[in-house]
Structure 1
Amino acid sequence: MEAEKLRQRINELGAKRKKEGLTEGEELERQALREEFLENFRKSFRSQVEMMQVFDDNGKEVTPEKVREIQRKKGLRDD
């Protein structure tokens, strides 16, 4: 599901839960949507971290070696 629609549906179910409660089916849907949202968030965050490069005040790259290794495996780095 598209991220914005996913977020909107989660919020709709959350509001309904506070106002009048959810049916068992709606509660299961809410849990599944939240898991999907978190999975998408984690993938996006991991991608951002894997693409980053860190430089100190002198302009020297100080990207953590673990991130550099991941970048090498993905073909994003030549060194």
Structure 2
Amino acid sequence: MEKINRINALAHKSRTQGLSEAEKQEQLALRAEYLQALRKNVSAMLDNVIIEEEDGTRHRPAKRKER
């Protein structure tokens, strides 16, 4: 939660005052870290999805290829 708060604080400061180069680099690093964690969580959630067809059969969706 601290990282999200820091991302939001930097975004607010960016809109109001502007950011220094160090703050811009910190913002980019925090955003990249956040997106990586988000993708990992969504991927883990989708790994637990089971589709049940009308005939009662159950299966997992095919894995999506990496980009």
Moved >3 Å (runs of 4+)? none
Which residue number in structure 2 is paired with residue 25 of structure 1?
A: 22
| Structure with higher RCO (Cα < 8 A, 6+ apart) | 2
Gaps of at least 5 residues in structure 2 are: none
Q: Once the two structures are aligned, what percentage of the paired residues are identical? A: 31
Cα RMSD after superposing both structures = 1.6
Give the unaligned 5+ runs of structure 1. Answer: 68-79
Larger fraction in helix: 1
TM (norm. structure 2) is: 0.84
Which structure features the higher share of strand residues? 2
**What is the Cα deviation at residue 65 of structure 1?**
4.1
Number of positions where the alignment pairs a residue of Structure 1 with one of Structure 2: 64
